[in-house]
């Protein structure tokens, strides 16, 4: 199975560019490359009603972030603080790093 290369990674700050939470920013908690989806901290929170279980004796409502499509988020650059597209640059040591297309700063430390 081909793995889709996502433009964001875990711990990136991203901005939501579509949907009901458009304009909000948050930190990427998980990525699902095969599905092209990401989970962003405190965004797209859904309420899930649960029955009492051994883990959760009370049951009730659990709030949990639902994955959103990676095409609905943009990386927020740590240097210029703007939602931006990234390119990939080969560094002097041969490793690859993403850079901000707005301010040219390297995004990957
Ligand atoms: Zn930038």
What confidence tens digit (pLDDT) does each residue in 34-73 have?
Answer: 999 999 999 999 998 888 888 778 888 889 999 999 999 9
Cα of 107 from ligand 1 centre, angstroms: 8
Backbone angles phi, psi at 71, to 5 degrees: -75, -10
Ligand 1 being an ion, which residues bring their Cβ within 5 A of it? 77, 79-80, 100, 102-103, 105
Mean pLDDT to the nearest integer, 13-19: 95
User: pTM here?
Assistant: 0.82
CA distances from 86 to 10, 39, 73, 97 (A): 15, 20, 12, 10
Instruction: Provide the token pair at 62.
Output: 């659990």
Torsion angle defined by CA atoms of residues 15, 75, 79 and 89, in that order, rounded to the nearest 10 degrees: -170
User: In this predicted model, what pLDDT tens digit does every residue of 69-96 receive, in sequence order?
Assistant: 999 999 999 999 999 999 999 999 999 9
Taking the centre of ligand 1 as the mean of its atom positions, its distance from the CA of residue 80, in whole angstroms, is 4
């Amino acid at each position: 199975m081909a793995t889709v290369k996502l433009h964001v990674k875990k711990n990136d700050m991203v901005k939501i560019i579509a949907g009901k939470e458009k304009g909000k920013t948050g930190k990427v908690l998980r990525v699902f490359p095969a599905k092209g989806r990401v989970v962003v901290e405190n965004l797209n929170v859904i309420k899930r009603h649960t029955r009492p279980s051994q883990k959760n004796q009370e049951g009730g409502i659990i709030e949990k972030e639902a994955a959103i499509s990676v095409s609905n988020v943009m990386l927020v650059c740590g240097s210029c603080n703007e939602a931006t597209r990234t390119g990939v640059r080969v560094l002097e040591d041969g490793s690859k790093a993403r850079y901000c297309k707005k301010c040219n700063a390297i995004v990957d430390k």
